[in-house]
Amino acid sequence: MRILLVEDDVALGEGIRTALKPEGYTVDWLQDGASALHALGCESFDLCVLDLGLPRLDGLEVLRCLRTAGHPLPVMVLTARDATSERIAGLDAGADDYLVKPFDVAELKARLRALLRRSFNRPQPALEYRGICLDPQSQAVSYEGREVALARKEFLLLHELLAQPGRVLTRDKLQQALYGWDEEVESNALEVHVHHLRKKLFPELIRTVRGVGYMVDKP
Amino acid sequence: MRILLVEDDVALGEGIRTALKPEGYTVDWLQDGASALHALGCESFDLCVLDLGLPRLDGLEVLRCLRTAGHPLPVMVLTARDATSERIAGLDAGADDYLVKPFDVAELKARLRALLRRSFNRPQPALEYRGICLDPQSQAVSYEGREVALARKEFLLLHELLAQPGRVLTRDKLQQALYGWDEEVESNALEVHVHHLRKKLFPELIRTVRGVGYMVDKP
DNA sequence: CCCAGCCTTAACAAACGCTTAAGTCTGTAT
DNA sequence: ATACAGACTTAAGCGTTTGTTAAGGCTGGG
């Protein structure tokens, strides 16, 4: 689950990001409106947490552009001002939910969950593949009926792979799913995770495509 | 996937190139605007990464010429200055995306991918030819129903040939598809790869055109 | 019949990925 | 706070695959 966080306040941004990470989200964080708009155009996210008071391009403006372009992405707006007019403007511009600062992080999490649930309003179908069942809701995986305990990165990796069987996912693409685009990893961590998955499930599950990446065969 | 990189800073150029190579891109690197414009006119690329501050002919100028000539090539602009006016000028001149230095290589990769995805938004259909099926999605090749394991260069070569049946591809063109134009190969490697393909599939598949190159007959 | 160009083969070198184990970090319970 | 456990990353060694090179044989056109 990939989230774009747009927040210029460094302390708050860091706070939100660290709060969200353990939930299993991959958080990419930008600090101004222009970059955000740009990133939204180029990359794909599942959700955006958007502060309104931003340098270079106001959050409201970003939101309006996004909606004008017909982008359906769920957006959670953060606003420091609790002036009613502000909020109304936000919702008018196409926000799906808003939160007034200061807020409780727990509430943010809860609302994000709700938002995601609503937006993927089908209850996020569990992925099934050759005896493996992966449920995004509960972040649980089972193999032939028995629970398999996966670590967070392992889960993300498996999710990514199972979501597109029959396609090679480049190393890079996978790394992006596990890490944001900062925090790049400088080692063979990916290989290690793959190894762990193969061990916990079964080795043939993940096929390596030499020089390119990994894939799961079509069912 | 062939990329033209135009960057006068040697360290940066080298960095980008080595970062991009493992992604499977073939990177050709030039260091001034005039050569770049020339190469763009003569050779065919899938994408161009263009620095703006260039000797002999400014990047903006290159871009403008390219667009004036009606060239649709996706261009990623790099700029040291983050002056808004610069960026706007870049986008106006026909850039498809821009990145402000210093940037994270991971971000560059991500954006290039996005750019390519956008420009080639056709989902890369599988090629079929006389019992051979080559699927770019899964990077798999089969012959008469059975999987054939191809190495990376072999795959690239076959892809290139099957993409244009009935046309002779010069040795040179093929080498460029497999290697960039530096890193040129000084031996008969190409012949060897052709040989391997003929062995793994069937010998008549690839016809040699003496003194010129190779081809695959029209279906 | 000769030669350049191409094919074939085999040996070597390099790249790549797998595995393991040790280190580092994080969150949690004491 | 401290210590611990689990998660994650790093690093090194190893085996395998892939790619390059070179040498010698073959072949078709002059």
What's the pLDDT at B52? 87
State the Cα–Cα distance between residues B20 and A9, nearest whole angstrom.
33
Distance, CA of B116 to chain centre = 11
Which residue is nearest nucleotide D22, judged by alpha carbon to C1' distance?
Answer: B187
Instruction: List, in sequence order, the alpha helices (H) in B26-167.
Output: 33-42, 59-68, 84-92, 105-119, 152-163
What's the pLDDT at A183? 60
Of A166, A175, A210, the CB nearest to B137: A166
**Interchain pair B137, A168: CB under 8 A:** yes
What's the pLDDT at A148? 92
**∠ CA A92-A96-A101, rounded to 5°:** 90
Across-strand partners of A81? Answer: none
Q: Is the CB of A187 under 7 A from strand D?
A: yes
What's the pLDDT at B87? 59
pTM: 0.71
A vs B: CB pairs below 8 A: 48
**Any idea which nucleotide's C1' is nearest the CA of A195?**
C18
Q: Is the CB of A153 under 7 A from strand D?
A: yes
State the Cα–Cα distance between residues A46 and A74, nearest whole angstrom.
7
Q: What is the per-residue DSSP string for B12-24?
A: HHHHHHHHHGGGT
State the Cα–Cα distance between residues B9 and A8, nearest whole angstrom.
32
pLDDT digits (tens, 9 = 90+) for A156-176: 999 999 988 999 999 988 998
What mean pLDDT is predicted for residues A37-49?
Answer: 83
Q: Is the CB of A87 under 7 A from strand D?
A: no
The sheet carrying B127-129 orders its strands as B127-129, B132-135, B140-143, B146-148
Q: Is the CB of B210 under 7 A from strand C?
A: yes
- Per-residue pLDDT band for A120 (boundaries 50, 70, 90) equals low
Chain A residue numbers touching B83 (CB-CB < 8 A): none
Mean pLDDT of chain B: 85
pLDDT digits (tens, 9 = 90+) for A174-188: 998 888 766 667 889
What mean pLDDT is predicted for residues B45-64?
Answer: 88
What's the pLDDT at A50? 93
What's the pLDDT at B85? 59
Given a cut of 70, is residue A69 above it in pLDDT? no
**Interchain pair A43, B115: CB under 8 A:** no
State the Cα–Cα distance between residues B86 and B66, nearest whole angstrom.
18
A114 or B130, which is more confident? B130
Task: Calculate how close chain B gets to A7, using CA atoms only, in Å.
Answer: 19
All structural domains of chain B: 2-120 (3.40.50.2300), 127-216 (1.10.10.10)
- Per-residue pLDDT band for B147 (boundaries 50, 70, 90) equals very high
The kind and range of the H/E element at B3 are: strand B2-6
Q: What does the DSSP 8-state code read for residue A82?
A: -
Q: Is the CB of B209 under 7 A from strand D?
A: no
Q: Please tell me which of B48-57, B132-141, B177-186 the model is most confident about, judged by mean pLDDT.
A: B132-141
What's the pLDDT at A182? 62
State the Cα–Cα distance between residues B157 and B195, nearest whole angstrom.
11
**Interchain pair A184, B138: CB under 8 A:** no
**Interchain pair A167, B111: CB under 8 A:** no
Residue A54: name the closest of A31, A86, A87 by CA: A31
Chain A residue numbers touching B114 (CB-CB < 8 A): 42-43
What's the pLDDT at A133? 93
pLDDT digits (tens, 9 = 90+) for A135-162: 887 888 999 988 999 999 999 999 999 9
